[in-house]
Amino acid sequence: MDFLTIIQVLDSTVRLATPLLLACLAGLYSERAGIFDIGLEGKMLAAAFFSAAVAYATGSVWLGLLAGIASSLVLSIIHGLASITFRGNQLISGVAINFLAAGITVLVAQDWFQQGGRTPSLPREARFNPIDLPLSETVADVPILGPIYSELISGHSILVYIAVLAVPLTWWVLYRTRFGLRLRAVGENPAAVDTAGVSVIGLRYAAVMICGVLCGIAGAYLATALQAGFVKDMTAGRGFIALAALIFAKWRPWYALWSTLLFGFLQAIALRYQNIELGNFVIPVQFMDVLPYILTVVILAGFVGRAIPPRAGGEPYVKER
């Protein structure tokens, strides 16, 4: 494998890891506040459809992004009402959101566009297009550093850069602000936070809303940047992979970046190398395609070290009278 091929694989890794990273950070905010959310998949799927549909109808990719975020926020509010206000089972609520999104996106897409549950292909102006960073063409011929800057760092859509910047921003919010301290405390000991006069319900709703925004961006990226439109079940389990990456990262922002890049790398390898030969044995493409899901099962089964979630995670808070 030559140097340029490595750069191309890493470039694909970044593109494929972006929705996973956004969804992983979304789950991080929610679960740090004590709200388990396996509805990441459904929120991403709803955002993917509505962002593509609105972008196609209006010709504006930014309006599509806002529509995707809004649809994800609606599902986040439903999850918040079920798990925070009415103190229902958070896992069941998340499963319901996934089923709701899977059904409603196909139903509405068929009603609006009559194309078998998909949207028409988006024109260039209704998509997030690659951005060439300054001097990317000038330094392209410089050995080693040129391809790294012009091919790997430059040439991504704005949502990729937003996702990368969200990592240090999340670290700063969680570990350097009063809001972050309270958010983490709510996931560990909500009674102590309540005793200090801080609203546990307010903080948990704030975390769920942040989760909705990030899932909305992730879904919009899938439909308006990574691809040119919405197709049925286009998230393809990315929400569950993001949850596995979150557990692998032990609910830490910088670890979340590296764990999602690992999953993205496996997907990039599967897409680029259809059949890999090892001596006289050929690894079939089906095995390469399923590698990210195998790793997901391995992580969730607890074979990659012990990951301790927030102590109050999954438990509704009942204020003592």
In a domain, 313, yes or no: no
In a domain, 40, yes or no: yes
In a domain, 314, yes or no: no
pLDDT for 103: 93
**Token output for 300:** 């969730």
Helix, strand and coil percent figures for the chain, each rounded to 5: 70, 0, 30
Range of the domain at 230: 3-129+138-300
In a domain, 91, yes or no: yes
Q: Which of 100-114, 133-147, 160-174, 244-258 has the lowest mean pLDDT?
A: 133-147
In a domain, 318, yes or no: no
Judge contact between 225 and 159, C-beta under 8 A. yes
| AA letter at 14 | V
pLDDT surpassing 60 at residue 247: yes
pLDDT for 282: 67
Q: What is the mean pLDDT of residues 122-144?
A: 86
Residue 267 sits in a domain whose CATH number is 1.10.3470
In a domain, 284, yes or no: yes
| AA letter at 277 | E
Query: What is the total count of domains within the chain?
Result: 1
Top pLDDT among 100 and 296 is at 100
Q: What is the mean pLDDT of residues 271-283?
A: 67
Q: Which residues pair with 283 in a beta bridge?
A: 276
In a domain, 319, yes or no: no
In a domain, 310, yes or no: no
Closest CA to 55 of 66, 45, 46: 66
